[in-house]
Structure 1
Amino acid sequence: MRQVKMYRPQVPADALPRLKTILDRGWFGLGPETAAFEQELSALPEVGGHVVGVNSGTAALHLALYVSGVAPGTSVIVPANTFISTAAVVVQHGCHVVLADIDVSTGNIDTGHVRELLRNRNDISAVIPVHYSGIPCELAELNVIAAEYRLTIIEDCAHAIGAVHQGLPLRKYSNIRAYSFHATKVVPIGEGGCVTFPTEEMADRARRLRRLGIDSSQADWSSPYEIEELGFKYNMNDMAAVLGRSQLASLPQRIARRRDIIARYTRSVSSSDIWPVMPRRETDRTGAFAFSVRVEEHVRERVRRQLAEAGVQTEIYFKSLDSFRIGLNGAVPKARKFSKEVISLPVHDAMSDDDVDYVAEHLIGATAS
């Protein structure tokens, strides 16, 4: 039976000799490979900005909150449809999570609900919009709202490397952005991430804070050092950086292939009782992390079971944050409904067109049965 895995991380063959070089060098902690990875990410049209490499997308979000000056004790708006990291870092920073509902057609934060929350509260200091599955959220409108209410925007770009909003790459919107390079992501390095800042001054501070407040340019741990601001243990290491660097040359082609897979899925299911989760306009382009669809709630688990029986792995992106027993509450009925209907399907470099057609055929069949 054919097996279509949800994830199949692909690393170029030349990554192996590059990794051996690092091992032979005798040092594979934070070092020159991380600095080179940061510079190359900064030069990419898909990323840009002043880049700081860290050890996870979660660390990237937390460091972004810290460096941006979001005050502990204030409230931060987070979409209810996201991975738990987006809310966890807000709590860890000493802030209160305010859940926003979503637009079910995209899975992204509902800007109308954001405005409603802001009209009814005066303690909100920031918004963390998530580009769900790589689909760009309404960033231009959020920037207008942020200017009106003097909010900080930190974009959760865990899914969104390469995403385009209204014809512009995300870097053109000049916000702080947090990316993930987890093993499931478009640039998989096992564990890792980065933050992009609008100024080098902010990035320099973040580079110190990611290494407990120690100046990263001071590579020799045996030398005396001073700490002026206590930080975190969030630094990337050179082994992870080498894996990342090996993938950047092929990144545009791999994103294009993933977009082709999503387009093929969309054409296949467009006439059935399946609702693809898609960008709102032609000038928005997904970062193509995943392809999610909605089906009727009462058939969702049966559909997933039949896909599994056919060898197709699926995920649920995501369980609504208010449904966890951890005290994240809010009036988010659309996110709740979405979380009971959504199925996320495989999208990765190793998939053939036949694999895509196989998944689509079994999805349609399971929905109709």
Structure 2
Amino acid sequence: MIPLFKVAVSPTALDRVAEVFASGYLGQGPRVAEFESALAARLGNPRVVSVHSGTSGLCLALRLLDAPEERDEVLSTPLTFEATNWAILADGRRITWVDVDPATLTMDLDDLERKISPATRAIIVVHWTGYPVDLDRLAGILDRAEREHGFRPAVIEDCAHAWGASYRGVPLGSHGNMCVFSFQALKHLTCGDGGLLTLPGDELHERAMLRRFYGIDRTADRLRGAYDVAEWGLKWHMTDLNAAIGLANLETVDEQLRLHRENAAFYDKELTGVPGLELLQRSPDREGSFYVYDVKVDDRPAFHRKMEAAGIMAGLVSRRNDEHSCVAHLRTSLPGLDSVYDRMVSLPVGWWLTEQDREHVVATIRSGW
């Protein structure tokens, strides 16, 4: 079976982890600081805060906003892994669903602009499968919202799928918003588990550094009680063990990304015009990371049966979140998502595919289902 996902671990990871064990420093220590410096250099943003999961990064980002009030809402997409939206619920805020653009499967920015209201405290955009949302257009929407409502909602970019992606030549994580990356096991860059929050300003960065460890300044003389907690936080920090894995994988992730993109370009060429299959729309001003390769197909059950019989794993990365019973009271009309959800399929596109694998995928699809 050609897998949809595969864990990427550098050959040097075991040695780096062994060094951490030998050091006796297993929690947050020098390897975390080294990893953060390396990530800051890659992203072109010095204001980075590593955390123990992408979910923790989302929770921390929301915690940096003002305390939630009864009518606070966060505008978000239901087409994402549940972690994106459950973080909103955990922070005591209400989700307002924004529709999906059927052409790209990212947030419908027209629907977003219609739904910004005086109750909107923040917006979470998801770079679905690693394809960047139009961030300049989003900034223009926020400019108009600020003029109309007298405030500017915060933006959190969910970059869980999007390590290495860029918008207009600038890496995601450096466009003036809070951004959250995931380093979970199946991601392009993995630490086993972990995440990263990037910040647009020094004040937010300083607050995030404190709040990822209960609000306590780790440089303070805690043994003598010489510290004060001004803003409480929780235990969200990364460990040196995870950072060591991440540092090793930073050495190989660029080549893996190159292969994801090369395989996607092959699919773009070879799957164009296949009856019953529609490719997603992409713009030349952004470079995706192709966490998976999404297509829209007619008769998805038959497509799945054909792929399974051919030994190719294909399916949905996430269930649409608005269908879960725990958020049934939030349901609303989302015609864009409704029009594509039953046609969406994710195909394997990763570094592990051989030339024969990807040719087999294409031949199987082109033979019909």
TM, length-normalised to structure 1: 0.91
- Match of residue 306 from structure 1: 306
> What residue identity is the alignment partner of 1:294?
K
- Match of residue 326 from structure 1: 326
Residue 230 of structure 1 aligns to a residue in which SS?
coil
Within the alignment, does 1:140 sit opposite 2:136 as a pair?
yes
In the alignment, the residues of structure 2 paired with residue 221 and residue 41 of structure 1 have an alpha-carbon distance, to the nearest angstrom, of: 29
- Match of residue 148 from structure 2: none
C-alpha change, 1:317 and 1:213, in structure 2 (3 Å) is same
Runs of 4+ off more than 3 Å: 68-73, 220-227
In the alignment, the residues of structure 2 paired with residue 35 and residue 319 of structure 1 have an alpha-carbon distance, to the nearest angstrom, of: 36
Deviation, structure 1 residue 29: 1.2
**14-23 or 333-342: which moved more?**
333-342
In the alignment, the residues of structure 2 paired with residue 331 and residue 227 of structure 1 have an alpha-carbon distance, to the nearest angstrom, of: 47
- Match of residue 52 from structure 2: 55
Within the alignment, does 1:317 sit opposite 2:317 as a pair?
yes
**300-309 or 77-86: which moved more?**
300-309
Deviation, structure 1 residue 201: 2.7
C-alpha change, 1:216 and 1:307, in structure 2 (3 Å) is farther
> What residue identity is the alignment partner of 1:200?
D
In the alignment, the residues of structure 1 paired with residue 319 and residue 236 of structure 2 have an alpha-carbon distance, to the nearest angstrom, of: 27
Deviation, structure 1 residue 223: 6.1
- Match of residue 112 from structure 2: 114
- Match of residue 245 from structure 1: 247
In the alignment, the residues of structure 1 paired with residue 321 and residue 9 of structure 2 have an alpha-carbon distance, to the nearest angstrom, of: 33
TM, length-normalised to structure 2: 0.91
In the alignment, the residues of structure 1 paired with residue 18 and residue 92 of structure 2 have an alpha-carbon distance, to the nearest angstrom, of: 42
Residue 242 of structure 1 aligns to a residue in which SS?
helix
Of 7, 11, 14, which residue of structure 1 is paired with 2:12?
A: 14
Of 52, 60, 65, which residue of structure 1 is paired with 2:62?
A: 65
| 1:110-259 → structure 2 map (5 Å cutoff) | 110-118=108-116, 121-149=117-145, 150-217=152-219, 224=225, 226-228=227-229, 229-259=231-261
Indicate if the aligned counterparts of 1:80 and 1:332 stay in contact, CA closer than 8 A.
Answer: no
Indicate if the aligned counterparts of 1:318 and 1:339 stay in contact, CA closer than 8 A.
Answer: no
In the alignment, the residues of structure 2 paired with residue 283 and residue 335 of structure 1 have an alpha-carbon distance, to the nearest angstrom, of: 24
In the alignment, the residues of structure 2 paired with residue 274 and residue 175 of structure 1 have an alpha-carbon distance, to the nearest angstrom, of: 35
**258-267 or 247-256: which moved more?**
247-256
Indicate if the aligned counterparts of 1:82 and 1:320 stay in contact, CA closer than 8 A.
Answer: yes
> What residue identity is the alignment partner of 1:130?
V
Count matched residues: 358
In the alignment, the residues of structure 2 paired with residue 39 and residue 309 of structure 1 have an alpha-carbon distance, to the nearest angstrom, of: 46
In the alignment, the residues of structure 1 paired with residue 69 and residue 179 of structure 2 have an alpha-carbon distance, to the nearest angstrom, of: 20
Of 38, 41, 58, which residue of structure 2 is paired with 1:40?
A: 38
**247-256 or 154-163: which moved more?**
247-256
Residue 350 of structure 2 aligns to a residue in which SS?
coil
Of 262, 275, 280, which residue of structure 2 is paired with 1:277?
A: 280
- What fraction of aligned residue pairs are identical, expressed as a percent? 27
> What residue identity is the alignment partner of 2:32?
T
Q: Give RMSD over aligned pairs.
A: 1.9
In the alignment, the residues of structure 1 paired with residue 223 and residue 174 of structure 2 have an alpha-carbon distance, to the nearest angstrom, of: 42
> What residue identity is the alignment partner of 1:182?
Q
Indicate if the aligned counterparts of 1:100 and 1:330 stay in contact, CA closer than 8 A.
Answer: no
- Match of residue 149 from structure 2: none
- Match of residue 288 from structure 1: 290
- Give structure 1 stretches of 5+ with no counterpart: none
Residue 153 of structure 1 aligns to a residue in which SS?
strand
Deviation, structure 1 residue 198: 1.5
Indicate if the aligned counterparts of 1:155 and 1:177 stay in contact, CA closer than 8 A.
Answer: yes
Indicate if the aligned counterparts of 1:38 and 1:53 stay in contact, CA closer than 8 A.
Answer: yes
